[in-house]
C-alpha cells in the first residue's frame, strides 16, 4: 500500500498539477491538505475519472483536507474530536482496506500558529493537545494507524536548512516541539526518520527569495505510525522533484509504503 501525504496549496490553483501527479505516481491513497474548497466545490469528477474515490472535509477559501483512494474506504469521520466549537476543517479519518489488512488513516493539517505568542498559537497548542488525545485512542485500538499530513512542526534543528531563522517561529518553538514529542513518545514512529537520518531532507520551500533553488527548506510533513503500522512499513521517502515542476505547491509529497 503506497500512501502519500501532500499539502497541495489550493485544489483550484493546482488541479492540473494534482491530476498529472496522480496519473504519473499512482498512489493507492493520497492524503491532501489545504484544499481551500468547500466540499461541493471540490473537483471530484476529474479525480474520480482516474479511478479514485474522494472524501473531503472542506471550507471556503482556507484549510480543508481530503482522502483520495483507489482502495475501498470505510468509516469516514470528519473533524478532530475534543472541541465542538472548532469550525476549521483540518482533520479527516477513514479506514482503508488493503489486500492484507485494514489501516486507519488520519489526514491532518495542523495550525501554523503564527504570530506567537498570541491566540493563533494558543489554538495550535490546544489543537495539538486534542491530537494527542486522539493518538492515545488510536494506540488503544491496537490496529495499524497512520497520522499523516502537514504538521507545521519542525521537530529538530536538522529538519531546517537554517534552524536559527526559525527560533522564534511557531513551527519550531520549544512548546511546539514538546507537544509533537509527547505524541511521538506515546509509542509512535516518525516514519521518515526511521528510514533516513541527518539533515538536508525537506518537504517545504517558501516561494520567496529562491528558497528552493538554494535548498533552503524545512521538514514539516510527517507520517506518524502506531507500532502495528510501523511493523508494516517497508519504505518512506520525500518526492523532492515535484517542487521543480510547473506551478508547484510549496510542499512536496512524502510517501509511505506499507505491506498491507
* Model confidence pLDDT, tens digit, residues 133-191: 999 999 999 999 999 999 999 999 999 999 999 999 999 999 999 999 999 999 999 99
- Average pLDDT of the segment spanning 183-210: 97
DSSP 98-150: -SS-EEEEEEEE-----SSSSHHHHHHHHHHHHHHHHHHHHHHHTS-EEEEEE
Per the annotation, does 216 bind a ligand? no
Per the annotation, does 9 bind a ligand? no
- Average pLDDT of the segment spanning 94-104: 96
Q: How many residues does the chain have?
A: 260
**pLDDT digit string, tens, across residues 222-249:** 999 999 999 999 999 999 999 999 999 9
Distance (Å, rounded) from C-alpha 127 to C-alpha 152?
12
Residue 40 and residue 66 in contact, taking contact as beta carbons nearer than 8 Å:
no
Per the annotation, does 152 bind a ligand? yes
What pLDDT shows up at residue 167?
Answer: 98
pLDDT band at 97, cuts 50/70/90? very high
- Answer yes or no: 109 catalytic: yes
Neighbours of 23 (CB within 10 A): 9
Q: How many Cα atoms sit within 13 Å of 147 on the Cβ side? A: 27
pLDDT band at 209, cuts 50/70/90? confident
- Average pLDDT of the segment spanning 208-220: 96
The residue among 36, 30, 27 whose CA lies nearest residue 9 is: 36
The catalytically annotated residue of 52, 57, 91, 109 is 109
- Answer yes or no: 150 catalytic: yes
Count the domains in the chain.
1
Domain that holds residue 46: 2-258
The catalytically annotated residue of 57, 222, 223, 251 is 251
The catalytically annotated residue of 28, 121, 150, 151 is 150
Per the annotation, does 168 bind a ligand? no
pLDDT band at 46, cuts 50/70/90? very high
50: cell is 482516474
> Residue 80 belongs to a domain with what CATH number?
3.60.10.10
**pLDDT digit string, tens, across residues 64-86:** 999 999 999 999 999 999 999 99
Average pLDDT, the chain: 98
Distance (Å, rounded) from C-alpha 45 to C-alpha 183?
36
β-pairing, 145-150 vs 189-190, is unpaired
Amino acid at each position: 500500500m503506497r500512501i502519500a501525504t501532500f499539502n497541495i496549496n489550493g485544489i483550484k490553483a493546482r488541479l492540473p498539477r494534482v491530476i498529472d501527479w496522480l496519473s504519473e505516481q499512482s498512489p493507492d491513497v493520497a492524503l491532501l491538505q489545504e484544499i481551500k474548497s468547500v466540499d461541493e466545490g471540490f473537483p471530484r469528477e476529474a479525480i474520480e475519472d482516474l479511478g479514485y474515490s474522494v472524501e473531503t472535509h472542506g471550507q471556503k477559501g482556507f484549510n480543508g483536507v481530503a482522502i483520495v483512494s483507489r482502495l475501498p474506504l470505510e468509516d469516514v469521520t470528519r473533524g478532530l474530536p475534543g472541541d465542538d466549537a472548532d469550525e476549521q476543517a483540518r482533520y479527516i479519518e477513514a479506514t482503508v482496506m488493503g489486500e492484507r489488512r485494514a489501516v486507519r488513516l488520519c489526514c491532518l493539517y495542523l495550525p501554523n500558529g503564527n504570530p506567537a505568542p498570541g491566540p493563533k498559537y494558543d489554538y495550535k497548542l490546544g489543537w495539538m493537545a486534542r491530537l494527542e488525545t486522539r493518538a492515545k485512542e488510536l494506540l488503544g485500538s491496537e490496529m495499524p494507524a497512520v497520522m499523516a499530513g502537514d504538521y507545521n512542526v519542525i521537530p529538530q534543528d536538522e529538519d531546517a536548512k537554517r534552524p536559527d531563522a526559525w527560533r522564534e517561529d511557531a513551527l519550531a518553538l520549544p512548546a511546539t516541539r514538546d507537544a509533537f514529542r509527547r505524541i511521538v513518545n506515546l509509542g509512535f514512529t516518525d516514519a521518515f526518520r526511521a528510514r533516513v537520518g541527518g539533515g538536508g531532507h525537506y518537504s517545504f520551500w517558501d516561494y520567496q527569495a529562491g528558497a528552493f533553488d538554494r535548498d533552503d527548506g524545512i521538514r514539516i510533513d510527517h507520517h506518524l505510525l502506531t507500532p502495528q503500522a510501523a511493523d508494516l512499513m517497508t519504505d518512506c521517502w520525500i518526492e523532492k522533484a515535484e517542487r521543480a515542476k510547473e506551478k508547484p505547491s510549496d510542499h512536496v509529497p512524502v510517501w509511505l509504503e506499507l505491506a498491507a
